[in-house]
Structure 1
């Protein structure tokens, strides 16, 4: 048949990975199917939304899990230090020498003596179990950012003033200026038996650490007042240690553990809260695996929409082949169309995830108001607010996982389209 100037041929493109203008134009056209292909467009849209929701769920949950662990660790370590040196029987004699040894240990940034003892407190007939904590003046001053009522400057040795946690003050119905009575069952021995020691302390300040168990139990006072209450003389209960790196605290405390063997026990935050942080680590991995299934389901939607698109465009594919389009061009067209759905869904999911994280507490408060349920009970969740801390490396892993799964989902329909035989398709056209 003679050549006509109106005949159109597709010039074969050189072998390359980058899309040619022809391939990109067809790929964009197939991403937005026509009116007669509304069902395919709907499935593609569902695929995009599914990828978006899966990625958003992963970003939100992993950020909340990381935030929960980080906040919990910061608050626990911020109050208790990275390690505790505790004497046998709860008492350390000659503690000044021990304190000096600890302070001179490489990697130790701070060491503070303290006393901690579970007792009872009563106010106007209400009785609560409390944890009396005797601190140095410097350690008491560290609580200033946490004070929500009153003033810590009133807590001086011999002032008979204390600071209490916000939840404890609420449970007792007490406020700043009220006097609560602390009861020490191990009182003085009299001819009539042991009489519990009861001392009244005026509440000078109310603080909120952010961990329910601490805010519901702690009564902080100067260390000399705690020694008087507990009848310990000049002895203390433990030494709180802070190191340069909490992750290497075991290596930092190893020399101290050797020196004090037989005299005191050295415990780190890892051993004290081991079960809690191990449970968080297991839950974090489990949540990642479970939520990844959402993304996997979404890419199956991409697979199904592309298969339907290939079946609907079989005649078009055959025509393009007869006009000079290579198998590789057809392959790249359908891979691009499917991959872009996954990529757009991933980017939208990141945006939705970060948006939800920014307004996370407002969202929790909204659902609490709607349902009438306390969805974030601090007595169960440890923390008073929903935390979040996004790890950039985890976000990168989520993005790569979503994109790789989206790419893999396009391969089968793309190869199917590339293997179309134009002779068989156009035989009866």
Structure 2
């Protein structure tokens, strides 16, 4: 909207407080602050929700792959042929055999549930969710026949385990004897403690070389499943469709959407709900802009009438008051984006400060699943939030602007 020099001067005069206009300026300032808080709240919440989804996706998919090929009885005896078939499928970037079985872990009289995962030593070292995540010890010590394991950080804490110590893994499905089934108990040296970043994994994982897991579970040369990564996680079903036909009757393919459908659907619903609810804050700010402009028009009736008699057109009056309202909206939007960026940058410090202030644990990993507050800002989403705030501000200016433009100078100045 192009303004003439005279219109720009009037806009500046109306935005800044004049004599006896302190209340109108206060309402306009509140409107600006409300827009700022609304935009900041939307940017922060949407970035955190995006961060939640991205972090969970990276951690969960990093460990479980985009899909798994799993035998109907939990065993793949001809896994080498299946592995060769999967790796030859176009669109597959990697395929990794692994064993995963819930068992029990015992140390110094303490017993806790554990999820034993057997992987090839090289796959353990190269897995993106495990690489560089050792908080104590060394994952490189996990080699075939080493009789050693790596524990999740929370599991190690619950059992009081330390690298170099020993832990006993109990397999209830042990060997059959004339006196019944005897649980199988094997002691392993603790080579490393890892922090994956997802509480449910950190509290249960026991990672060991594939051969040791096969010996522990008495499954010979079988594996439990084959983990598959593809070039596009959203097209995993389409990419693995040829494999599904070839393994039909002996194995089933489950992708990440099926395995974690409840979690990701809940995040999507919560994300939409939070966006709608927090958008109401911007609407409230817009109504503040509307009310402040109405009061401004009422207080400037005499000025408007004089401007009209001096030759100001209706379009000129519309441009002036639209510019005043949109300026408040734009300034509030820019301030909100800056405030949101500052909060997101210092987000963990803010959480820690509030925890210290209230004495409450606001970020319990057992509830939040992740060990720290994540964030991932989407530029398109941020631009959309800013555009929404500015458009709403523009719409709020139309009624008072047209009200000012339709002022009859004869009626206003009749008794002056």
Q: What's the TM-score, normalizing by structure 1?
A: 0.96
- Which residue number corresponds to residue 225 of structure 1? 212
1:55 alignment partner, one of 36, 39, 45: 39
Is 1:377 aligned to 2:361, yes or no? no
Higher alpha-carbon deviation: 161-170 or 249-258: 249-258
Residues 245-275 of structure 1, C-alpha deviation per residue, up to 9 Å, x if partnerless?
Answer: 1111111111111111111010000100001
Please tell me whether residue 250 in structure 1 is matched to residue 234 in structure 2: no
Q: Which moved more, 1:247-256 or 1:358-367?
A: 247-256
CA distance in 2, matches of 1:374, 1:252: 44
Matched, 1:41 2:25: yes
SS of residue matched to 1:236: coil
TM-score (norm 2): 0.98
Q: Deviations over 1:266-298 (max 9, x none)?
A: 000010000100000000000000000000000
Q: 1:392 aligns with which of 373, 376, 379?
A: 379
Give the C-alpha shift of residue 32 in structure 1.
1.0
Match of 2:132, SS state, is helix
Unaligned segments of structure 2, at least 5 residues: none
1:144 is displaced (CA, Å) by 3.1
Paired with 2:371 and 2:190, the residues of 1 have a C-alpha distance of: 23
- Cross-structure match for 1:427: 414
Q: Distance in 2 between matches of 1:253 and 1:171?
A: 40
Identify the match of residue 137 of structure 1 among 121, 146, 154: 121
Whether 1:125 aligns to 2:112 is no
Number of aligned residues: 413
The 5 A counterparts of 1:334-349 are: 334-349=321-336
1:4 — aligned with what? none
Aligned to 1:317: 304
Alignment of 1:285-300 (within 5 A): 285-300=272-287
Mapped partners of 1:191, 1:419: distance in 2: 101
Match of 1:96 among 53, 57, 80: 80
Alignment of 1:156-235 (within 5 A): 156-235=143-222
Matched with 1:147 is: 134
- Using the TM superposition, name which of 351-360 and 30-39 deviates more: 30-39
- 1:64 matched to 2:51: no
Report what 1:278 is aligned to. Answer: 265
Report the CA distance between 1:394 and its aligned residue: 0.4
Q: Separation in 2 of the partners of 1:35 and 1:187?
A: 89
Aligned-pair distance for 1:156? Answer: 1.1
1:144 partner SS: coil
Distance in 2 between the 1:47 and 1:258 partners? 61
Cα distance in structure 2, aligned partners of 1:184 and 1:354: 50
Name the structure 2 match of 1:14.
none
Q: CA deviation at 1:152?
A: 1.4
**Deviation of residue 35 (structure 1)?**
3.0
Equivalents in 1 of 2:87, 2:411: separation in Å? 85
- Partners of 1:261 and 1:195 lie apart in 2 by 35
Residue aligning to 1:24:
8
Deviation track 1:94-149 (CA, whole Å, cap 9, x = no partner) reads 11000000000010000010000000010001100000000011211022311111
2:396 equivalent to 1:414: no
C-alpha deviation, 1:33, in angstroms: 2.3
Q: Secondary structure at the match of 1:36?
A: coil
Aligned-pair RMSD on alpha carbons? 0.7
Q: 2:319 aligns with which of 328, 332, 343?
A: 332
Task: Tell me how far apart the structure 2 counterparts of residues 343 and 154 of structure 1 sit (CA, whole Å).
Answer: 58
Q: Secondary structure at the match of 1:118?
A: strand
| Runs of 4+ residues over 6 Å off in structure 1 | none
In the aligned structure 1, how far is the partner of 2:155 from the partner of 2:60?
18
After superposition, the C-alpha distances for 1:173-208 in whole angstroms (9 at most, x for unaligned) are: 111011010000111111211110000001000001
**Residue 127 of structure 1: SS of its match in structure 2?**
strand
Structure 1: tracts of 5 or more residues without a match: 1-16
* Pairwise CA distance, 1:385: 0.4
Structure 2 Cα separation of the partners of residues 312 and 323 of structure 1: 19
